[in-house]
Chains A and B, each alone.
Chain A
Amino acid sequence: MKGAVLPRPAADAGADAWHDYVYLRDNPRGAYEEYWHHTSGCRRWLVVSRDTATHEVYACQDAADAKAVRA
């Protein structure tokens, strides 16, 4: 597990956007999207949607697909 799924800013997005991306987090109690890495298996990075209060997993998709959808 790496942490929150956040879009990486453009290279010239400025100090505020980068500080936000690298350091600031919503850290919600509830619905949350997180990067997982299947290191002992397919080696794919995944975007997992789950609840941080109940640990219920709602959805899971390949990180490459998630980015395509997001972009």
Chain B
Amino acid sequence: MRYSALSIFLNGLFGNRNWAAHWRQPEPKPHYDVIIVGGGGHGLATAYYLSKTFGIRNIAVLEKGYLGSGNVGRNTTIIRSNYLLPGNNPFYEFSMKLWEGLEQDFNFNAMVSQRGVLNLFHSDAQRDAYTRRGNAMRLHGVDADLLDRAAVRSMLPFFDYDNARFPIQGGLLQRRGGTVRHDAVAWGYARGADAHGVDIIQNCEVTGIRREGGKAVGVETTRGFIGCGKLALAAAGNSSRVAQMADLKLPMESHVLQAFVSEGLKPFIDGVVTFGAGHFYVSQSDKGGLVFGGDIDGYNSYAQRGNLATVEHVTEAGKAMIPALSRIRVLRSWGGIMDMSMDGSPIIDRVHLDNLYLNSGWCYGGFKATPASGYCFAHLIARDEPHETARAFRLDRFRRGYVIDEKGQGAQPNLH
């Protein structure tokens, strides 16, 4: 069923009785050519591209909870391709280009909204770091503009310029950056994958990986054993737990990141802005709530909730940047499980078993990568060759010393 204004009109006339389910709820088959573990954004995107673009049939996505119950349903919805290092830059720009055509591609309004991402800086050192970054972007043909204080002020006059502890000196702007409705991404990819024959099996938790020789022959699940030709892991914050079932230890830690939304307001802020003198970033959703967040709490956690000290740090930074936030009320906080890798960059690679594929290590930046992650992972699974933009995301880069460390913090996940 194709979605459009006309379809809404016609269905509305007839009491909306003809809208069909967006995806089936099939029973698992005994065997699939490809099993993808993880029904979040990346897993569903992988299934979509694997079936639609790479022509693989007979795919299952196994999700332990309900579809999109992980980080794809609880993030701050930002998309951008303003990365620094050559290992990252082309990948995120590839993702941005996929975002730009996504809604037409999968016929679901994901509300891709490119109203700009502005990173503020407050010192010469920060300005120089953003200059390095902006030039790296420009060399790759990605849009980047360096704004001075006056330009930022005319864009965002209500920010604190005169009474700030760390005065704003300017910002790096990516105009094509912005936000996307996160739930719609999961639902759009799910609907699209389902339409191409992918079985999305919810409430199906993988409890073991059965091996024979150097291959994975299938997975034990809460809904029985399911055989596989290829096994692809896209379990985000739960990657270590699943990898352990194949005796694989990963270079990552699972951490909690909190995010927040305010009460709904008439338009207050247009694009996405990040603070440079503290951990805080904010945008406004199409429903009116300010969606914002800051740094990870800093300790390993699978609890999907964080603590009050972080809430205070985030809101302090927020009010320091925007004094007018003071009377605005925070409505809800939530938390997710971040797969924090040892260099802050992702892993899309084949691993130690012949037919085992790993997609993990997205830290707190996985949402913007969803389309490219899905596409590149599908490419790797289908062709056993990495996509050109994902070549650097190898698991062995840690052993060999080719880490992709944007923040320069080294092997301590809670610093990335």
Contact = CB atoms under 8 A, between A and B. Distances in A.
Nearest to B254: A27
A29 interface: yes
A53 B300 CA distance: 9
A14 B268 CA distance: 57
Range of interface residues on chain A? 20 to 34
Interface in B223-260: 238, 240-241, 244, 249-254
A27 B300 contact: yes
Nearest to A24: B249
A27 B237 CA distance: 10
A24 B300 contact: no
Interface residues of B, number: 23
Most chain B Cβ neighbours within 10 Å, of A19, A26, A27: A27
B412 A52 contact: no
B302 A52 contact: yes
A64 to B, nearest CB: 21
A23 B413 contact: no
Nearest to B251: A23
A67 B302 CA distance: 27
Contacts of A53: 301-303
B260 to A, nearest CB: 19
A27 B303 contact: no
B256 to A, nearest CB: 9
Contact of B251 (A1, A15, A24): A24
Contacts of B249: 20, 24-26
Interface in B395-416: 398-399, 411-414
B275 to A, nearest CB: 23
A28 B411 CA distance: 18
Which secondary structure dominates chain B's binding surface?
mixed
Contact of B250 (A2, A27, A29): A27
Contact of B241 (A1, A15, A22, A29): A29
A39 interface: no
A8 interface: no
B157 interface: no
A34 B300 contact: yes
B414 A3 contact: yes
Contacts of B55: none
Nearest to B301: A52
Contacts of B244: 26
Given A1-B299, A52-B300, A23 B254 contact: no
B342 interface: yes
Contact of A25 (B240, B303, B399): B240
Contacts of A28: 240
Interface in A25-71: 25-29, 32, 34, 52-55
A22 B397 CA distance: 13
A3 B413 contact: yes
28 contacts: A3-B253, A3-B300, A3-B412, A3-B413, A3-B414, A15-B399, A19-B399, A20-B249, A22-B342, A22-B398, A22-B411, A23-B399, A25-B249, A25-B250, A25-B251, A27-B252, A27-B253, A29-B238, A29-B241, A29-B254, A29-B302, A32-B300, A34-B299, A52-B301, A52-B303, A53-B302, A53-B303, A55-B301
